[in-house]
Structure 1
């Protein structure tokens, strides 16, 4: 039995992993796959990949590209969710900020530097025409840290996935000022180089299983009700989310796509220089 560790955010995007693990699909192929939740998001997972604490991670595209460019010894093996992620831009319920223009000089809560909440706040600032060099950040760790920082006034706004934070908007903890979609496919699967060298076939088997699950994920009976209950969401919100979300189901990631994303990230000042796009990816489907 080969032991592999996989990590991701505890959000509805990753429910297909829960199903395959619950059904012991990997065990049938002599793979002992263990899941770990990362509530701190992509920055926390990039660190875990570097440290060898996980072997496979379901990470935000922008975060892992930035971290591989900075020396993370991992490769992107495929896109996981090919549609954009919708980032809600949130302020505290009692905040005096009413519209997006009010936030130009405000302090931004981010889970950690290099995380999606950090990089997408730069993308949003660029979209608004603000001076990116003047952005002010407060590191808060995770969603709970964001709630605390906005409630006690340590930070002014916080960007996190729209549907995950919708219950906090509904219950009056946050007010959503606007949305900012990612200008690229949102989640990719990244694997440590050492694991790709030693366990290529097992990683490919893991991908085959999860891709088979995501292919017909939306057709599962009552999947909207299951997700709404598990993630404490309104049924209509989950139905909206299912409508706009598409998984990749096993197509290889191309150098072309990585180049296009790098070009955008340079424009947004998220990375300083473009690297050879081949260094970011490992094609599992040769």
Structure 2
């Protein structure tokens, strides 16, 4: 069972409960370690972690509905949403510096899809409009020089995506490589190709209402981000424990967890946002791929709320 849950610490004038959306995959391990090691309690914050197996697009909706206050998700989904005028949240930090490797998968018996070229103008399964699984096909088309538009089939979650490529509701879908690999091993889906994000892969966002309520006395975001930093540090210093946690709680083999550890680089100070690589670069690529329209420099400045100075 995952360690992520509401931190059980005593009520305090300096401790405020808030809800954090996250994807229950291997990337969440430092968040769990921060709880396990008591870093949230020491920081006097009470995060309640809410899992979103369907990913970033669903968390953006949850932020809009105020079901969560903070979300840890994919950069491209958050930036695409902000670029489309979704102004109920801001980017407050960076979580993972390394790019995300998206595996492109199809049904195990799909003889009509044997290479990436077979997807040109095809139907792509996605979790939600605006999610990373929706954004990345545009990036793929841009990289390949394709002009034919994709058709999209909204399938909500990873299980439905796997089913969808087998029953031909979709020709392929994109999902993180190591999360997909288990289902290559069990012969449920078939690997086609891969594509990397040209930006840091995971960022942290917060609802504007939470940001507006922040005071030097509560400082909820800064306190939580400091605790997450310690969780990242513990993760990096204890790779064997990370492999054990991932393989026992998050549906990955120990071998895959070890392989993933060699590819991932978390941010040492998660409260920092490199606007050049995260905002400018991502906006430029998403614009060129046709995901969002032109965004002014003034508007891009509004995408980020800086917390770094408080950490």
Question: Scaled by the length of structure 2, what TM-score is found?
Answer: 0.87
Matches within 5 A, 1:196-215: 196-199=211-214, 201-215=219-233
| 3-state SS, counterpart of residue 280 of structure 1 | coil
Q: Is the 8 A contact 2:139 2:285 kept in 1?
A: no
Q: Is the 8 A contact 1:108 1:156 kept in 2?
A: yes
Alpha-carbon offset, residue 148 of structure 1: 1.6
- Aligned mate of 2:129, from 85, 89, 113: 113
Cα 1:39–1:191 change in 2 (3 A) is: same
Alpha-carbon offset, residue 285 of structure 1: 2.0
Q: Distance in 1 between matches of 2:307 and 2:282?
A: 21
Partner of 1:122: 138
Cα 1:221–1:183 change in 2 (3 A) is: closer
Matched positions, count: 285
CA shift digits 1:91-133 (9 cap, x unpaired)? 000001111111113210000100000001111122122125x
Q: Is the 8 A contact 1:12 1:227 kept in 2?
A: yes
Matched, 1:239 2:258: yes
Alpha-carbon offset, residue 63 of structure 1: 0.8
Partner of 1:218: 236
Q: Is the 8 A contact 1:218 1:242 kept in 2?
A: no
Q: Is the 8 A contact 2:142 2:289 kept in 1?
A: yes
- Aligned mate of 1:228, from 232, 247, 258: 247
CA shift digits 1:243-275 (9 cap, x unpaired)? 110111215113323112211111111111123
Alpha-carbon offset, residue 173 of structure 1: 0.6
Partner of 1:9: 23
Q: Is the 8 A contact 2:33 2:235 kept in 1?
A: no
- Aligned mate of 2:300, from 277, 280, 286: 277
Q: Distance in 2 between matches of 1:241 and 1:205?
A: 29
CA shift digits 1:2-40 (9 cap, x unpaired)? 111001111000111122223443233332210000011
- Cα RMSD of the aligned pairs, angstroms, is 1.5
Alpha-carbon offset, residue 225 of structure 1: 3.1
In the TM superposition, structure 1's runs of 4+ consecutive aligned residues that sit over 4 Å from their partners are none
Partner of 1:253: 273
Q: Is the 8 A contact 2:43 2:224 kept in 1?
A: no
CA shift digits 1:210-258 (9 cap, x unpaired)? 0121124132152223322322323232222111101112151133231
Q: Is the 8 A contact 2:56 2:74 kept in 1?
A: yes
| 3-state SS, counterpart of residue 27 of structure 1 | helix
| 3-state SS, counterpart of residue 110 of structure 2 | coil
Partner of 1:51: 65
Q: Is the 8 A contact 2:75 2:203 kept in 1?
A: yes
Cα 1:67–1:252 change in 2 (3 A) is: same
Q: Distance in 1 between matches of 2:180 and 2:239?
A: 25
